[in-house]
Amino acid sequence: MRVGLIIDSACDLPHEFSRRHNLSILPVTAVIDGQTYIDDHDPVKTQEFYESGLLQKGHHAETEAFSAQQIHDLFLSDIVTEYDVAICETVTRSRSLIYQNATEAMNSVMSHYRKAREAAGVSGNFSMRVVDSKQLFAGQGLLAAHTLDLIEKKLSKNELRQQIESFTDRIYTCVIPRDLHYIRERARRRGDKSVSAVAAFLGKALSITPVIFGKGAEGEPVAKTRSFDDAVSKVMAYAAERVKSGLLTPYVCMSCGLSWEEINALPGLDNLREVCKEEGVELLLSQMGITSSIYVGPGSLCLALGAEDHAFSDFQ
């Protein structure tokens, strides 16, 4: 049984990791200054975006999910003839239409896949599942890495689905937004009032950088620091101590909306790398994708790990 994993462009993972595991990418459309780009996780294109400074105009940018018809066509042409079972993991449905559109596309594909497989000379049935990751960015990346491990165990389709969906509730994320005003402005354009103008003003005026922590896409401020580096140091210390205490999957996933030179200079990163190596944990470190960077703002950081219930303060 050939099992394939599909992720969308909001999922942050190192390109080499995605390539090595043959992950299929469901693109997202990005519109920046009136120009349309397809975010398909091409590392060259992503690097060009960082170097061009286009992402600095992110509050004038929007992302748009592929339509159900576009996803249907992609599934039918690239997925149903390559796999017998396909798992499509999407960004949390509370923040995007990707899950809804992918589910609609899946239902249509299940009614039409036989002709495509016959034309390609592929026999047997095909089945598919769309999973709401309940995650953003690095959280999605962590779920994908864990899913690949589950696929390697050759579980039954039902057990695979159950274990994936169960793990979505065990993922903890830390997000460090570089600019609260940026987030408030994008939220205002979407009608989301979760970040007040006062909070954004204070963050900008006083150089406050918060650490947002929680399960999946639902988080709250757990620390307010006077600089980005201070916030990063807290998150790195948390992650290192949490790794030492044990994880539910041998990965830590981290994405940063920075150049590689800036990423490698992050305070506490070398220590986290060493701790992960000592504990047999793989640190999946990547540049934040175009879609992610537009959403949370250039210069931001997201870290995710899977663990038993705990608080951020438990590991400070």
| 149 and 10 both lie in a single domain | yes
pLDDT at 156: 93
| 270 and 238 both lie in a single domain | yes
| 105 and 176 both lie in a single domain | no
pLDDT at 163 over 70: yes
Where helices occur in 110-227 by DSSP H, the ranges are 113-119, 138-152, 157-167, 180-190, 197-205
For the stretch 31-89, pLDDT in tens is 887 888 888 888 888 888 778 777 676 557 888 999 999 999 999 999 999 999 999 99
| 24 and 86 both lie in a single domain | yes
CATH of the domain at 43: 3.40.50.10170
pLDDT at 195 over 70: no
For the stretch 84-116, pLDDT in tens is 999 999 999 988 999 999 999 999 999 999 999
Percent of the chain with pLDDT over 90: 73
pLDDT band at 167 (very low <50, low <70, confident <90, very high): very high
pLDDT at 255: 97
| 41 and 108 both lie in a single domain | yes
Give the Cα separation of 151 and 87 in Å (integer).
Answer: 10
The model carries a pTM of 0.94
pLDDT at 314 over 80: yes
Name which residue leads in pLDDT, 207 or 278. 278
Catalogue the long-range contacts made by 180-187 (C-beta closer than 8 Å, 24 or more residues apart): 180/204, 180/208, 180/210, 182/58, 182/59, 182/297, 183/296, 183/297, 185/59, 186/58, 186/59, 186/295, 186/297
Q: Nearest Cα to 59, choosing from 195, 167, 163?
A: 195
**Which tokens is 38 given?**
């397809």
pLDDT at 3: 97
Beta bridge pairs of residue 303: 174, 254
| 98 and 216 both lie in a single domain | no
Instruction: State the residue range of the domain holding 309.
Output: 170-315
Give the Cα separation of 51 and 45 in Å (integer).
Answer: 10
Mean pLDDT value across the chain: 91
Q: Which of 126, 151, 169 is the last residue of a domain?
A: 169
Domain count, the chain: 2
For the stretch 256-289, pLDDT in tens is 999 899 999 999 999 999 999 999 999 999 999 9
Q: Which of 149, 169, 189 is the last residue of a domain?
A: 169
Where helices occur in 226-287 by DSSP H, the ranges are 228-245, 260-264, 269-279
| 142 and 195 both lie in a single domain | no
pLDDT at 37: 84
| 53 and 75 both lie in a single domain | yes
Give the Cα separation of 63 and 80 in Å (integer).
Answer: 27
